[in-house]
Amino acid sequence: GSLPEGTQIVFVLGGPGSGKGTQCDKIKQDYEVVHLSAGDLLRAEVASGSEVGKKCEALMKEGKLVPVAVTLNLLKKAMIESGGSFFLIDGFPRALDQAAQFESAIMPAKAVLFFDCPEEEMEKRLLKRGETSGRSDDNAETIRKRFKTFVDQSLPVKEQYLGQGTCHVVSAVASPDEVYESVKVMLESLNAPKKSCGSKATVPE
């Protein structure tokens, strides 16, 4: 399989708990986009009980990155299977090698949306979510390790895209609705495809 002509990709990046998933859920309601979260794909792989999943589970509990080939394969497969042509890729690339390999195996992204949020705020959100999420990485110790991985390996990716002029930085400190207002401005500037009126309703009137 392959991706349709004219496929466009936006990488959605930001620290752990910066609100990538929350904002992608909002975007999906208004725009004709396919949202793929690297973390969600990995958690599904872990849940499947596969050998690959078992290896990933241990790394994720330590707040470390799983091997680049694993996320790249999962993303590529999901992109093709979705049948979509405008993608929000959430939580990828998180390291410079991931960015380079995605670009050569698939294509360069049209833009990067980066959510900027202070560490204290992200920690507060994740500890709160940890009370109910059941995510094995939402505890104080793993959160600290996720922040370290983010600073050491993922921030250089942001710097690279800033240098290329493709990275849009949005402050993620305000309420989800307020953050989304800034996100929409960015999506409009990219001409992201809007949902037509009819397709928004999921339940018949």
* Contacting residues toward ligand AP5, per CB under 6 A: 14, 16-22, 38-39, 42, 59-60, 63-66, 71, 91-92, 94, 98, 125, 129, 137, 146, 172, 175-176, 179
Residue (54 or 203) nearer to ligand AP5, CB: 54
Q: Are 91 and 83 in contact (CB under 8 A)?
A: no
Minimum distance of ligand AP5 from residue 140's CB (angstroms): 14
Minimum distance of ligand AP5 from residue 104's CB (angstroms): 16
Residue (111 or 143) nearer to ligand AP5, CB: 143
DSSP string, the chain: --PPTT-EEEEEEESTTSSHHHHHHHHHHHB--EEEEHHHHHHHHHHHT-HHHHHHHHHHHTTPPPPHHHHHHHHHHHHHHHT-SEEEEET---SHHHHHHHHHHT---SEEEEEE--HHHHHHHHHHHHHHH--TT-SHHHHHHHHHHIIIIIHHHHHHHHHHT-EEEEE--S-HHHHHHHHHHHHHHTTPPBPPGGGG-SS--
Residue nearest to ligand AP5 (CB): 39
Residue (32 or 40) nearer to ligand AP5, CB: 40
Residue (11 or 31) nearer to ligand AP5, CB: 11
Minimum distance of ligand AP5 from residue 115's CB (angstroms): 7
Amino acid, res. 62: E
Minimum distance of ligand AP5 from residue 76's CB (angstroms): 13
Residue (12 or 111) nearer to ligand AP5, CB: 12
Minimum distance of ligand AP5 from residue 42's CB (angstroms): 5
